[in-house]
Amino acid sequence: MKPYFIKTPHIFKIIFKNWVWSLSSKEKVLYLTFDDGPTPKITNWTLNKLKEYNAKATFFCIGKNIAEHPSIYQKIINHNHSIGNHTNNHLNGFKTETEFYLKNIDFPKNNPPQTSKLFRPPYGKLKLSQSKKIRKKGYKIIMWDVLSADFDTTITPKDCLENVIKNTQNGSIIVFHDSIKSQEKLQYVLPKILEYYSKKGYCFKAIN
């Protein structure tokens, strides 16, 4: 068994009810999210592909990557996508003391400004003590309903596509990564997902 769930078990959503796992399921709307950017070439490719389908998404950015690639970060904003915080150094909350973790979500002052108060913990790992204090800072903690597993080097691009198709429903928050590690799978899966669900009458919205 893989050390992660493709489809988030319903019990998780009940136990951690202060975290956002999916959104309204009344309409044909999906919420694509991209973690770990901005990354040259890959984030730009992603933005261009989304633009082809007039799709909006949410990018959970790493602070150090923003500092290294501010023009790409600004391009995400210019394309009217939402920005989320993914810590400055992609920290594992389980392995990090709360005080240090909280300091690591404050982006350096010389970075371009954040456009929202959305937060996603790297690896999905967050202590309850961290969660409580992050929410006191005004953040919404955004998790997911479907994990594409594009980061997993042991699966094929077709497996990744199947992960999404088999588990997505109205209102699903879906995780992808605009990173070098995930590039092959992302470039195979994202165009197919955009085409498949567009033909079914879905639209893609950013999380606010």
Count of residues making up the chain: 208
Q: What confidence tens digit (pLDDT) does each residue in 52-106 have?
A: 999 999 999 999 999 999 999 999 999 999 999 999 999 999 999 999 999 999 8
Convert the pLDDT of each residue in 126-151 to its tens digit: 999 999 999 999 999 999 999 999 99
What are the tens digits of pLDDT across the range 41-58? 999 999 999 999 999 999
Scanning the structure block, which residue is given the tokens 């893989």? Answer: 2
Average pLDDT (192-204) is: 98
Please check the confidence at residue 108 and state whether its pLDDT lies above 70. Answer: no
What value does the mean pLDDT take over residues 17-24? 95
Q: Give domain limits for the chain.
A: 10-204
Query: Alpha carbon of 202 to those of 54, 121, 158: distances in Å?
Result: 12, 27, 22
What percent of the chain has pLDDT above 90? 92
Give the angle 108-72-158 at the CA atoms, nearest 5°: 115
Query: What 8-state DSSP symbol labels residue 113?
Result: P
Please report the DSSP string for 154-201 in residue order.
TS-HHHHHHHHHHH--TTBEEEEE-STTTHHHHHHHHHHHHHHHHHTT
Average pLDDT for 169-179:
98
Q: Is 35 a catalytic residue?
A: yes
Q: What is the pLDDT of residue 1?
A: 47
Query: Does 81 participate in catalysis according to the annotation?
Result: no
Is pLDDT of 111 > 90? no
State the catalytic residue, choosing from 69, 81, 86, 177. Answer: 177
Q: pLDDT value at position 107?
A: 76
Q: Determine the Cα–Cα distance for residues 106 and 160; give it in Å rounded to an integer.
A: 33
Kindly report the pTM of this predicted structure: 0.96
Catalytic residue among 35, 36, 152, 178: 35
CATH topology of domain 10-204: TIM Barrel (3.20.20)
Provide, rounded to the nearest whole percent, the portion of the chain with pLDDT above 70.
Answer: 96
Side-chain-side CA neighbours of residue 176 (13 Å): 29
Are the beta carbons of 142 and 207 closer than 8 angstroms? yes
DSSP state of 100: H
Q: Work out the average pLDDT over 22-40.
A: 95
Range list of H helices, the chain: 10-15, 42-52, 63-68, 70-78, 98-104, 128-136, 157-167, 183-199
Structure confidence at residue 106 (pLDDT) = 87
Radius of gyration of the chain (CA): 16
Cβ-based neighbour number of residue 79 at 10 Å: 15
Cα 21 off chain centre by:
11
